[in-house]
Amino acid sequence: QVHLVESGGGLVQPGGSLRLSCAASGFTLDYYDIGWFRQAPGKDREGVSCISSSDGSTYYASSVKGRFTISRDNAKNTVNMQMTSPKPGNTVVYYCAARPWGITSVQAMCVNWRPSEYNHWGQGTQITVSS
């Protein structure tokens, strides 16, 4: 069976750090473009960070640029996102998603995307930033 599983969520204090992991089973992430998305209550899901499978290029939403880092760990078949100084607010659910390698730019993967373009979605991991 094919699965994506996110982990690493929880409660984090403002100014703290957290690392989310997206682990794949049943397929190899090497050949997939990966995106991290988040959804706050009552809001649309938005792209946070994406990484291309072809050249490893990355994209970050302006709200997280400089604070979040996406990376691949091919040996573990995972994609991680290191989050530094997440901003306090509502509890947010972070999702990872995978789409087969293609010619779409890494920015388009995160900005001009449709859920159907991503073959696999994880179940989400919840993050609460609070002191």
Are the CB atoms for 64 and 81 separated by under 8 Å? no
Tell me, rounded to whole angstroms, the distance of Cα 36 from its chain centroid: 2
Residue 107 Cα distances to 5, 7, 9, 94, 112, angstroms: 23, 24, 25, 18, 8
pLDDT tens by residue, the chain, 131 residues: 889 999 999 999 999 999 999 999 999 999 999 999 999 999 999 999 999 998 999 999 999 999 999 999 999 999 999 999 888 877 899 999 999 988 889 999 999 999 999 999 999 999 999 88
Both tokens assigned to 108: 């388009």
pLDDT at position 86: 87
pLDDT at position 107: 92
**Cα separation, 75 vs 48, whole angstroms:** 24
Terminal-to-terminal C-alpha distance of the chain: 39
Element (H, E) at 109: helix 106-111
Q: Hey, is 65 helix, strand or coil?
A: coil
Are the CB atoms for 77 and 23 separated by under 8 Å? yes
**Cα separation, 115 vs 100, whole angstroms:** 13
